[in-house]
Amino acid sequence: MLLALEGIAGAGKSTLRDRLLADAQAEGIPLSHIGQFSWLSHPATRTLVRLRAGHAGDPDEAIEAACQDLALHSRFNLAPALSQGPVLADRLTLSTACLLALLHQQPVDEYVKRLAEDERARPQLTVLLTTEPDICHARITRRATARRFTEHPKAATRLADLYRQAADAWTKTTGLPVLHHPCTTRKDLDTLATACMDHLRPASGPAYPTTEVSR
């Protein structure tokens, strides 16, 4: 099973990821962790790095790079990891679609449809953390790292809206579920962890060590 965590910076993805990895290890579930991109193509990587820095560039080049990277990710990272047990993706297709839509000011639906064409990279469950942007911003300001352009309030608010649109487009395109829930309180975290573990338990196979596959 592939489970993807999505949402704006500060929404609680890392907190939920760490909780799920710990809970899975405690139960002997071979849950591994993977990142958003493969970084296996030099040309695609150059384009993706520019996008993550806020440089839109050519729209056609951007979506082609994203699709190429996702194809490599699904073949060389996701498939081997899934052969060992369930996989937790910290950001995946929806995050890429929202980044492209934000930078190129285009409807996010088309990016979702294009990226969803790679069925091997489709998460069976996507969790969209809908934590309010102002709470996310307060969390981010406590971090020591420099702010990315997507973490500034105006961009984050726009991204939060794009994520909601992308989630609807994802389910409409693929028929796969998206769980919408904030991660603001300990109760929220417990609710999310319980829901995710209920999906991960039936998907787990023989016991393997919990590993981090790729960032």
User: How confident is the model over 122-159, as pLDDT tens digits?
Assistant: 999 999 999 999 999 999 999 888 888 999 999 999 99
> How many other C-beta atoms can be found within 10 angstroms of the C-beta atom of residue 111?
27
Q: Is there a contact between 60 and 91 (Cβ–Cβ < 8 Å)?
A: no
- Computed over every residue of the chain, the mean pLDDT equals 94
> What pLDDT, on the 0 to 100 scale, is given for residue 211?
38
Separation of alpha carbons 148 and 129, rounded Å: 19
- What are the domain boundaries of the chain? 2-203
Between 5-9, 110-114, 129-133, 201-205, the lowest mean confidence (pLDDT) is in 201-205
- For 20, 62, 74, 156, the CA distances from 204, given in Å and listed in that order, are 13, 35, 19, 35
Task: Output the CATH code of domain 2-203.
Answer: 3.40.50.300
Q: Kindly tell me if the per-residue pLDDT of 210 is higher than 60.
A: no
User: Span 10-17, mean pLDDT?
Assistant: 98
Tokens matching residue 183: 């991660």
Burial of 3 (0-12, 13-18, 19+ CB in 10 A): buried
Q: Kindly tell me if the per-residue pLDDT of 214 is higher than 80.
A: no
pTM listed for this prediction: 0.92
Separation of alpha carbons 47 and 102, rounded Å: 15
Band (56; pLDDT cuts 50, 70, 90): very high
> How many other C-beta atoms can be found within 10 angstroms of the C-beta atom of residue 7?
27
| Of the candidates 44, 28, 16, 11, the residue with the CA atom closest to the CA atom of residue 209 | 28
Q: Kindly tell me if the per-residue pLDDT of 82 is higher than 70.
A: yes
> What pLDDT, on the 0 to 100 scale, is given for residue 78?
97
